[in-house]
Structure 1
Amino acid sequence: MASGTILGEGTRGGFVATMAPYFRARPIAALLLGISSGFPLALLLGTMTFWLAKVGIEKKTIGFAIGLTTPYALKFLWAPFVDRIKLPVLTGMFGQRRAWLFTIQALLFVSVWMLGASQPELHLGVFAFWAIATAFLGATQDIVIDAYRIEILPEDELAHGTANNQFGYRLGAFIAGVGTIAIASPEGFDMGWAMAYGLTGFCILPGLLAALWTGPGLHDKVLSSAPAQKAGAWLESTLIGPFREFLVRRGAVLILLFVVIYKLGDAMGQAMLNPMIVELGFSDTEFIAINKVIGFWGLIVGTALSAPLMAWLGMGRALFVSGALMMVSNLTFAILATQGHSNLWLTIAVATEQVTSGMGLTVFVTYLSGLSSLAYTATQFALLSSLAGVGRTWLAAPAGYFAEELGWAGFWLMTTVVALPGMILLWILWQKGFVVESVRKARAGAETEGAAKPI
């Protein structure tokens, strides 16, 4: 049976040794970038579904409203241009990644403010427009941040930097979820949805500051050393090169299929979690308090354990264990559905979900990061994360219909069953050695590949 770790054999030391890299400069920068990356999608998923449920939008409509996040599933289509197009003036001042980041963040800030002011109960079309605009800009910000994060992290800090980034991502999502609801709620600060969304838009600042502090990424060095190309060759290397390089790898098709379905059960559950909380009669205060205390500390624990988990078990086993734990977390919500308005079971379910999701998402993103060549970081990671978004955006879109037909308990049991094909495919990948081999090959050959291929 294939096994191994992308962290290297020398990292199997004591617990302190596995935790120390979290506090290095570049992993901390990855954490700050994660905050800026995590908040837009949370506003469009958890917070948006809570908002729509509060203003009386029916479950089926809420389920399909998740489709407004489609740009996250299609971002690989414009990622090649983010990889290669230089922005006038700004690229010369800040480098490729940071120029794009600062530009997109300014536009995203405006879009989030407009989304909060859209009043979906009165102007659903206006709301949908600004939701799609925010999704497009948030997805583009993810293209830049994901590529920049991979490029600024050396090999020995990849897992810890990715874990920090995912902690930041979840922290940004936490702010956009619990924080935004607390600002808007009459039981909280009672400032309304427009002000709540607008203030959440300031979550762009941590990523901006981290980019100013850290400096250019490795992609800028590769780009600056590449020879000039004619237009046809530039288009070929920009649009075709990244996909061709990935698809010729052994097991590429199986890996892409695995990326699509691995987190499908978790995605379907997350789409309908907040509407269930509202329907079960939990007050805003109860929801905020449990997420603020239990959810936040569960997030810290789950994310912190992810890098040691990969070091101790290897990538293949870590994916198995975290996937199984995420399935267990869905079962706790099925129990909550049978218990009704139970603060005890909401606490248990939220704690389980945050710990297991913190581990699972970090392990999964580390795996995807290792598959991305430095020559095409933005495009290849965008392709992989877009395919992961297909499960969340399109395959999970009927979640509201299933919740309506099966009831909440039946729905959560179904999401557990839906997760099984991803685990089976992971077993096949692991047996064939693709889980370890593909990651090592991509990371080990990245710099030489980037130098050898024309940009």
Structure 2
Amino acid sequence: MASRAQVGAASAGQVVARGGGRQALYVLLGFSAGLPFYMFSTVLSLRLAMHEVGLVIIGFFAWVQLLPTFKFLWAPLLDRYEVPGFGRFWGKRRGWIMLAQLGIASSMVMMALTSSDRSLGITALFAVLLAFWTTTLEVAADAWRIELAPTQEEQGPLAAANLWGYRTAMVAAGSGALLIADQPGWGWTGAYLAIAAGAFAAFPILASMRPDPGHGGSRMTALATGLAASAAILLAATAATAAVGWLLLEAAAGMGISGETNVTPYVLALCMLPFLIMAAAVPKIRNLPPSAPARRSVAIGPYVDFFWRYGFMALALMAFVSIYRMGDVLALNLSKPMIRDLGYSLSAIGRADSYVALIASIVGVGLGGWMAARWPQARALAVGAIFAAIGNFGFVWLAHQPVDETMLYIATAADQFGNGMAGAIFVVYLSLLVNPRHPGAQYAFLSGFAFLLPRLLSGSGGAMVEAFDRAGFNGFDLFFLLSGVLSLAALLFLPAIARARPRAPDDEPA
């Protein structure tokens, strides 16, 4: 009997074949996921800086980007359940993608309407919701991609197509939002409304596609039911997020944490906890039989399976994936405030983030996808890490050049090329670690954990820069040097992780 994953892959394959090809689909899905990302990260940090919010508080807002790290908490729900209405006609994967697009558009509209940032709590609420729905879209799209392309040769082109769409959208959102915000009469409200309209554009395209095999009925009935269910889900998610946020703020205030607190030591201690917990659990997991409840559980079974398959090597794999994109993430939140501090205008930054970043990113992604499909994994990963580090060092170089857009273009191109190359290689690598039985949950876990340590540290980035300044150093220079060195540190793990092989399954007939 075919597995659930095989059935899903066959259904997805039929839909994609009729719709014009896998690559075209994943350019579209990548664009849908990439468009909102800068709006709760880089663009938001620059918006807060323009409203004279302190650097430490801007650093705290980087923790909004932690939400994708914890997507493994709700990813199993996307593997198991369908969205009411949408799922009945378009199937499980597209149903979740359509719900997520509605959440993305509504969150950005609310960020537009509160763009004065008079209440940072309200700003944080809708930034968190935007991050949540963006992440949900990525979980559904990633699961579908892994079902469609289970081999290294297939993953390379598909991952590249997805990242082309993703990074094109990031460039479009980042540069477009800044250019619009710099226009008289538009400001940040106009910028967020424009990007919200772009983010919603993919929804009618998906809604017009033919039904998923095995599904059907009335398109209009499914659409109306799905929209009603989505409205209820969006309201419930907003209320739950507001309640959790209030509790966290109250807890932080009770612990004496404020904008003046040096949180770096606490963050570093938190970063060690996952590794200690995993190290303690691996010996027991390795001895679990196929009938063990932990291995059969819908909630934790996919994650237990990963540690069962790789054993103690899983710890080395997790450490490697935590460090590989470290430099990119650390640079993301503070690069634009630093560039603005150097004297560049919003329009100059927007121009650099438009065609310069787009061309460099597309070339980097294409080359990275080609290497990931054809080269040994360790060699491709090494080259990606080196170019990512060069991109971070470019910001240090830029800080010591005269204010000239040409210099800004060079630094931006180096950063985007390195990020695109490393990103494409990394996506393929993570995808091949996944057990095809649990594509959505395991990829969510790996890709989420990969950014846990970097995003925790990124939240204390503003405090780190100010601490470096107080110690007599150039804070931004030392910060970006450190981020580049951390990217290179991933090279130390390559000899070990190149030998990692999963354990053969013990619950299938020989």
Q: TM-score range by the shorter chain?
A: 0.7 to 0.9
For the 8 Å contact 1:111–1:134, the answer to whether it is kept is: yes
Q: How does 1:334-373 map to 2 (within 5 A)?
A: 334-373=396-435
For the 8 Å contact 2:391–2:417, the answer to whether it is kept is: no
The secondary structure found in structure 2 opposite 1:341 is: coil
Which of 181, 185, 198 is 1:184 aligned to?
181
Which of 107, 110, 125 is 1:111 aligned to?
107
Q: What's 2:276 paired with?
A: none
* Separation in 2, partners of 1:164, 1:212: 22
Q: What's 1:383 paired with?
A: 445
- What whole-Å deviation, never above 9, does each CA across 1:35-64 have from its counterpart, x for those lacking one? 011122211111111111112112111111
Q: What's 1:282 paired with?
A: 344
Of stretches 117-126 and 357-366 in structure 1, the one that deviates more from structure 2 is 117-126
Q: What's 1:240 paired with?
A: 300
Tell me the amino acid that sits aligned with residue 70 of structure 1: L
For the 8 Å contact 2:34–2:165, the answer to whether it is kept is: yes
- What whole-Å deviation, never above 9, does each CA across 1:355-414 have from its counterpart, x for those lacking one? 111111010011111222332111111101111221342122121122232422222112
How much has 1:249 moved relative to structure 2?
1.8
Tell me the amino acid that sits aligned with residue 59 of structure 1: L
Give the 3 Å change call, closer, same or farther, for CA 217–318 of structure 1 in structure 2: farther
How much has 1:100 moved relative to structure 2?
1.4
Which of 145, 148, 154 is 1:152 aligned to?
148
* Separation in 2, partners of 1:151, 1:285: 42
How much has 1:214 moved relative to structure 2?
8.3
**1:199 matches 2:194:** yes
* Separation in 2, partners of 1:147, 1:29: 14
Tell me the amino acid that sits aligned with residue 103 of structure 2: L
For the 8 Å contact 1:117–1:193, the answer to whether it is kept is: no
For the 8 Å contact 1:264–1:395, the answer to whether it is kept is: no
Q: What's 1:410 paired with?
A: 478
Which of 389, 394, 398 is 2:456 aligned to?
394
Q: What's 1:164 paired with?
A: 161
How much has 1:211 moved relative to structure 2?
7.9
How much has 1:26 moved relative to structure 2?
0.3
The secondary structure found in structure 1 opposite 2:309 is: coil
- What whole-Å deviation, never above 9, does each CA across 1:178-237 have from its counterpart, x for those lacking one? 1111222227xx52222321221232433763686486599xxxxxxxxxxxxx989953
The secondary structure found in structure 2 opposite 1:375 is: coil
For the 8 Å contact 2:34–2:167, the answer to whether it is kept is: yes
For the 8 Å contact 2:434–2:443, the answer to whether it is kept is: yes
* Separation in 1, partners of 2:56, 2:104: 28
* Separation in 2, partners of 1:254, 1:217: 41
Tell me the amino acid that sits aligned with residue 27 of structure 1: Q
The secondary structure found in structure 1 opposite 2:127 is: helix
Report the number of matched residues.
Answer: 404
TM-score, length-normalised on structure 2? 0.74
* Separation in 2, partners of 1:93, 1:212: 11
**1:123 matches 2:191:** no
The secondary structure found in structure 1 opposite 2:107 is: helix
For the 8 Å contact 1:148–1:217, the answer to whether it is kept is: no
The secondary structure found in structure 2 opposite 1:248 is: helix
Tell me the amino acid that sits aligned with residue 194 of structure 1: T
Higher relative contact order (CA 8 A, sep 6+): 1
For the 8 Å contact 2:55–2:462, the answer to whether it is kept is: yes
For the 8 Å contact 1:52–1:120, the answer to whether it is kept is: no
TM-score, length-normalised on structure 1? 0.82
How much has 1:79 moved relative to structure 2?
0.8
Q: How does 1:295-310 map to 2 (within 5 A)?
A: 295-310=357-372
Cα RMSD for the two superposed structures: 2.8
Q: What's 1:138 paired with?
A: 134
Q: What's 2:496 paired with?
A: 428
Tell me the amino acid that sits aligned with residue 494 of structure 2: L
- Gap runs ≥5 in structure 1: 1-23, 219-231
Which of 170, 174, 180 is 1:173 aligned to?
170
Of stretches 86-95 and 383-392 in structure 1, the one that deviates more from structure 2 is 86-95
How much has 1:158 moved relative to structure 2?
1.4
For the 8 Å contact 1:29–1:214, the answer to whether it is kept is: no
Q: What's 2:88 paired with?
A: 92
Give the 3 Å change call, closer, same or farther, for CA 422–53 of structure 1 in structure 2: same
Tell me the amino acid that sits aligned with residue 178 of structure 2: I
- Gap runs ≥5 in structure 2: 1-19, 215-291, 469-473
Tell me the amino acid that sits aligned with residue 158 of structure 1: Q
For the 8 Å contact 2:36–2:134, the answer to whether it is kept is: yes
* Separation in 2, partners of 1:139, 1:43: 13
- Who wins on radius of gyration, i.e. which is larger? 2
